[in-house]
Structure 1
Amino acid sequence: MFRGLTWDHPRGRHALEAAEAAGGPIAWQAQPLEGFESAPIGELCARYDLVVLDHPHLGEALALGCLRPLDEVFDASELAAIADRAIGPSMASYVMQGRPWALPLDAATQVMARRADHLATPPRTWDEVAAISRETGKVALSLAGPHAFLSFLSVVQSIRPDLDLRDGDRWIDTDTATRALTLLGELAQRSPASVSSLNPIGILERMSSREQDVILCPLIYGYVNYAAPSRPVPLAFSDAPRMTADGLPSSILGGTGIAISTRCTVDDALRAHLLWLMSPEAQRGFIPDHDGQPGTSEAWLDPRVNALTGNFFADTAATLQAASIRPRHDGFIAFQGAASALLREGFAAGTDTGLLSVRLEDLFRASHKASTEVTA
């Protein structure tokens, strides 16, 4: 059996464990969602044959040389077929240095979550979100862990949809950064304290309980499990806010992919199993039937899958199609955490947005281990 590591949530583990129970060649273990921060990717790849990761870890992994490029494992036609079926930039996010490094098993991005019993219709623009926040005091931001910075990046992309940050070779112009910080800072001042320390799973758990203190989270990584009719209060998910009513819903891509470590010697059984996980059969059936969140367009738009999930997939697919890939350079993971801490402290203290913008840029430039010039 091959050894695999995934993350500890029904969305991350149930389908893979069910595949193992059905005779699959991978024995899966799980770690907490934040596990990569406590055990670096190099250490995990030294212990596991397959690792479920998200795309920002690629820079560190490639610097360490601990992943096997997938064009050594699969035919070009097989990879092209997976890329054609992947939703939004899910496959593209795992291509770096011109080579693919993971299969887009699971797709996610920041979307809007709301209590439909309090808000029958979702707001469309950031101005409408701000109005609900002022009126109710029950609009939460997801700020814990790396999410303060990821929310900032999402608003930046809403202002500047042309800005491509994926290679970590450029930063954000001052005007855009301060505008995004001003918008988020005002919302943060009114965000309920009850969820300030919670990750997205914790916020969604609270929103889908009997508590009444959060009725809207405008940017949070979507989890289909919280739209399930079996929840005490099923949540309604919709597209992320836009800057203008006719703009695109902007967000920062999440999701996870299956990567193969260099310690792994791939055989035909493993290769066939990985291709099956990405097949239409598994993506539209097995994975969503076992609490998973598939990575292909056909699954996200499938009527049966949507009928089971309160239309979660169809109602957020446009946001995923337009999602942006975050920086992936070696050093980004540590920067993401430090930038989020800076933003949380700055929002709480009411720090001048211009000063916050300068400090963010300083952190970004310091995150580059090599002396690479980055541009605005």
Structure 2
Amino acid sequence: MTWNHPRGYDPMVACSRLWREKTGVSIEWEKRSLQDFESFSVEELARAYDLIVIDHPHVGQITAEKCLAPLDVPGREAEREALAKASVGRSYPSYTWQDRQWAFPIDAATQVQAWRPDLIDAAPKIWTEVLELAQRSRVLLPLRPPHSLMCFFTLAADLGRPCAVESPSDLIDPDTGETVFEMLREIAALLDPECLTMDPIAVFEKMAEAGSRIACAPLIYGYVPYAAAGFRPNRLFFCDMPTVGGNGPVGSALGGTGIAVSAFSAAGEEAIDFAYWIASGDVQRGLYAAAGGQPGHAAAWEDEAVNVATGDFYRGTRATLEGAWVRPRHDGYMAFQQAASDRLNEGLAGRQDAPRVVADINRLFRQSFAAPG
């Protein structure tokens, strides 16, 4: 099971076809919506599928549910060491939990910046330049849950005051939280209200459509298909996120996906073999990238041909990936992510007082440790 977008589906199908030619093992892929991908129960998927594409904040939950098979099997230490060394930013360790490896990164992503060089001379480097563009109705920002919360995380971390990740304390100190909320409220007031219902794909489609005048999406998970010539009427380019704290492009909320194996699979050994293979450097910079995937292996990010084909998508955003921040991953986080995103959007849409919104988000975070799942 993977997610319903060419970036998530096409490379899995292409690589599985080659795997069948190499091994005789056939793998059929199904797909789910992006919203389901971010919120659907991994345990339900693990009971229905042998191989599952997941995102790293699920690892605490799946460990508690015992629904995935750890991939750190004996005898393959050298392969895992190679994958760890080739991690783009913290992609590989983001799937490590309680000293076990629950997935291998096959897709590396974080909030970066998308822009149109045919509409503006340069992408904004600092947040005030983003606001100037927004005042001219040239900016979109995906704020549909959970992306509003991802923007909150990114801005806080880039200010040098990242949110908490492990302890049942406040998510963020009130002063910083209120500052970040006011930053989001300021830009949201300049945007099309539809941004509150838009995910990254919706923003990219709007930016890339014929006649679009949207020049910039300053905080958005990169989607490499839109960087390819001919994918949509207008080609998008990608670069490092604009900074708000003078620390460079650091603190972006890490995304991406990993390949995981169901603990309930009757073909667990074969599934693990496929996971090691598709995460490897040769596959990632070869067929996986050529089929429209967004690799999670440094060999692909550094490959000249891969970069040329995508307008330097990988080189242009690498610094942001290397400085990205890993979200909380405890059992209970996924429910918090949805609830906090909803509360944040309620505050943005209703122009509510920052202290009340931040206090509620902090309360939800503390409660997420007491009420897993």
Query: What TM-score do you get using the length of structure 2 for normalisation?
Result: 0.92
Give the letter for the 1:96 counterpart.
W
Q: After the TM superposition, which residues 137-148 of structure 1 pair with which residues of structure 2 at under 5 Å, given as runs? A: 137-148=137-148
Q: Does 1:261 align with 2:256?
A: no
Stretch deviating more after TM superposition (15-24 or 145-154) = 15-24
Q: Name the residue aligned to 2:332.
A: 331
Q: Does 1:155 align with 2:155?
A: yes
Shift of residue 266, structure 1, vs aligned partner: 5.1
Q: Is the 8 A contact 1:138 1:192 kept in 2?
A: no
Q: Name the residue aligned to 2:291.
A: 290
- Distance of 1:143 and 1:137 partners within structure 2: 16
Q: Is the 8 A contact 2:157 2:252 kept in 1?
A: yes
Identical aligned residues as a percent: 39
Q: Is the 8 A contact 1:107 1:256 kept in 2?
A: yes
Q: Name the residue aligned to 1:57.
A: 58
Note closer, same or farther for the CA distance 1:109–1:74 as it changes in structure 2 (3 Å cut): farther
Q: Name the residue aligned to 2:166.
A: 167
Deviations along 1:33-83, one digit per CA (max 9) or x if unpaired, are 122466411111111111100011112111111111111366222211111
Q: Name the residue aligned to 1:307.
A: 308
- Distance of 1:157 and 1:93 partners within structure 2: 17
Indicate the SS of the match to 1:218: strand
- Distance of 1:53 and 1:118 partners within structure 2: 36
Q: Is the 8 A contact 1:239 1:249 kept in 2?
A: no
Indicate the SS of the match to 1:259: strand
Note closer, same or farther for the CA distance 1:39–1:357 as it changes in structure 2 (3 Å cut): closer
Stretch deviating more after TM superposition (17-26 or 54-63) = 17-26
Q: Name the residue aligned to 1:176.
A: 176
- Distance of 2:95 and 2:290 partners within structure 1: 25
Q: Is the 8 A contact 1:69 1:99 kept in 2?
A: yes
Indicate the SS of the match to 1:233: coil
Indicate the SS of the match to 1:251: coil
Q: After the TM superposition, which residues 53-92 of structure 1 pair with which residues of structure 2 at under 5 Å, given as runs? A: 53-72=54-73, 75-92=76-93
- Distance of 1:66 and 1:80 partners within structure 2: 24
Note closer, same or farther for the CA distance 1:14–1:267 as it changes in structure 2 (3 Å cut): same
Shift of residue 143, structure 1, vs aligned partner: 0.5
Give the letter for the 1:17 counterpart.
V
- Distance of 2:125 and 2:39 partners within structure 1: 37
Q: Name the residue aligned to 1:111.
A: 112
Shift of residue 172, structure 1, vs aligned partner: 1.2
Shift of residue 312, structure 1, vs aligned partner: 0.8
Q: Is the 8 A contact 2:260 2:275 kept in 1?
A: no
Q: After the TM superposition, which residues 203-214 of structure 1 pair with which residues of structure 2 at under 5 Å, given as runs? A: 203-214=203-214
- Distance of 1:191 and 1:247 partners within structure 2: 25
Q: Name the residue aligned to 2:8.
A: 12
Q: Is the 8 A contact 1:73 1:266 kept in 2?
A: no
- Distance of 1:119 and 1:250 partners within structure 2: 26
Shift of residue 110, structure 1, vs aligned partner: 0.6
Q: Does 1:199 align with 2:199?
A: yes
Stretch deviating more after TM superposition (201-210 or 264-273) = 264-273
Deviations along 1:208-267, one digit per CA (max 9) or x if unpaired, are 112435321110100001111102100111101212455334310100001111112556
Shift of residue 362, structure 1, vs aligned partner: 1.1
Shift of residue 13, structure 1, vs aligned partner: 1.0
Indicate the SS of the match to 1:206: helix
- Distance of 1:127 and 1:114 partners within structure 2: 16
Q: Is the 8 A contact 2:160 2:245 kept in 1?
A: no
Q: Is the 8 A contact 1:18 1:290 kept in 2?
A: yes
- Distance of 2:245 and 2:126 partners within structure 1: 6
Indicate the SS of the match to 1:367: helix
Stretch deviating more after TM superposition (185-194 or 306-315) = 185-194
- Distance of 2:75 and 2:287 partners within structure 1: 22
- Distance of 1:167 and 1:73 partners within structure 2: 29
Query: What TM-score do you get using the length of structure 1 for normalisation?
Result: 0.91
- Distance of 2:268 and 2:178 partners within structure 1: 52
Deviations along 1:70-120, one digit per CA (max 9) or x if unpaired, are 113662222111110111000010011121100101111110111222222
Stretch deviating more after TM superposition (30-39 or 125-134) = 30-39
Indicate the SS of the match to 2:316: helix
Give the letter for the 1:333 counterpart.
M
Note closer, same or farther for the CA distance 1:74–1:59 as it changes in structure 2 (3 Å cut): farther
The total of aligned residue pairs comes to 365
- Distance of 2:268 and 2:55 partners within structure 1: 24
Q: After the TM superposition, which residues 315-326 of structure 1 pair with which residues of structure 2 at under 5 Å, given as runs? A: 315-326=316-327
RMSD: 2.0
Deviations along 1:318-345, one digit per CA (max 9) or x if unpaired, are 1011111001111211211111111112
Note closer, same or farther for the CA distance 1:268–1:346 as it changes in structure 2 (3 Å cut): closer
